[in-house]
Amino acid sequence: MVFVFEYLRNINHLRRELESRDRAYYRARKYLLNRFGFDVDDFLPELSGAGFWRQFLTPNFENLVGEILARLYGMEKFDLTYLKDGFTTRNPFKYSLVRPKFVINDGRRWILKKYFLADRFLNHQVIKDIGSLDNFKKAYQIHIDFAENLGYSSDSWDISTFFSTFVKCSLETLERKDAGRVFSKVFVLTSQNNALVRKKFEFNGEVYRSGNETLKFEDLIELAAEGLVMPATSTYYSELFYLLPGILLPRYIQIEAVFETADECIQNPALQGFRKCREITGFYPLLIPIPDFNVEDGFRFTKNPACTTICLPVEEAFETVDPESSISFYRTAYMIGKRLLQMFKN
């Protein structure tokens, strides 16, 4: 595959990058403070390791490959989550929150089974608001518990407050016209049918509108201060997120299914964010590329295999796969996936 994005090639490339970024953090912090009035020092955790950025933690095929990859290279596993993102049945990963598919060994062979974790949910409902069938735990927490039982690292940082504070500081700092351009649309968390949902508001040149409802800048600032306003995907990818891996989080490396297979609504702003990170700091974010197993040839043991839960302890999977470092991170992840797939077929 020909890559458009600048990814980490291998472990030696990663080591060189980690040794050369002394001023990157300060350049990124200064930029966000001057441009948006956002002081990241008040919000960033101290963390190191490699991991995914997904809405919630779950022991699926993609995550198992990431766990094995991190262990192979001696890296701690640490994930970023986004629990105030919106649920939708059209996204296979988000849908797995409530209707997960499990690959299970019944003692004779590996079989695929579907489960129901929740029956009450709405499109655009906030991920962390969706309850499980017994309603004693949220659905995302059941996924975390299952991952922990299988030996996955459950260390994570929910980025939701970071995002809402970015919106608040930006709306307070930017000129209105500029703010309306950067935040041409936002998502406001509101109550609907006893559920917390995300409602899209778009800037019309004067106020933010959703149907017949309008919000002034002052209204949005107050709501953002309460953690109830989230930026659109196009905003956080192009303006903020890719200042995190290896820059504002200097010892954090993101594992990511390659953007080259993503939809344009994701790929384009992500590419803008990559390039802006380089312009601001002199460096690209640190990303380890892995295959998009949902579209990669040779991995279609079910529809959307990357999102399928694998009922196998991480330690056992690591020993069975017996991973070896290849010429690239991407190739190593590909081979780990292939060996896992072969195990299911045996």
The per-residue pLDDT for 243 is: 98
Distance (Å, rounded) from C-alpha 31 to C-alpha 173?
13
The residue ranges of every structural domain in the chain are: 11-97+123-341
Q: Distance between CA atoms of 34 and 32, rounded to whole angstroms?
A: 6
Predicted pLDDT at 261: 85
CA-closest candidate to residue 12, choices 345, 341, 327 = 327
Low-confidence stretches of the chain (pLDDT < 50) are none
- How much is the pTM? 0.95
Which amino acid is it at 330? Answer: Y
Torsion angle, alpha carbons of 307, 313, 316, 317, to 10: 10
pLDDT of amino acid 272: 96
89-127 pLDDT tens trace: 999 999 999 999 999 988 888 999 999 999 999 999 999
Whole-number pLDDT of residue 300: 83
Q: How far apart are alpha carbons 69 and 72 in whole angstroms? A: 5
Look up tokens 């094995």; give the residue: 68
As a whole number, the mean pLDDT across the chain is: 94
Q: Which pLDDT score is estimated for 288?
A: 98
Q: What is the pLDDT of residue 2?
A: 73
Q: Note the pLDDT of residue 298.
A: 87
User: For position 216, what pLDDT does the model report?
Assistant: 95
C-alpha to C-alpha distance for 227 and 160, rounded to whole angstroms? 8
Tens digits of residue pLDDT in 197-237: 999 999 999 999 999 999 999 999 999 999 999 999 999 99
pLDDT of residue 324: 87
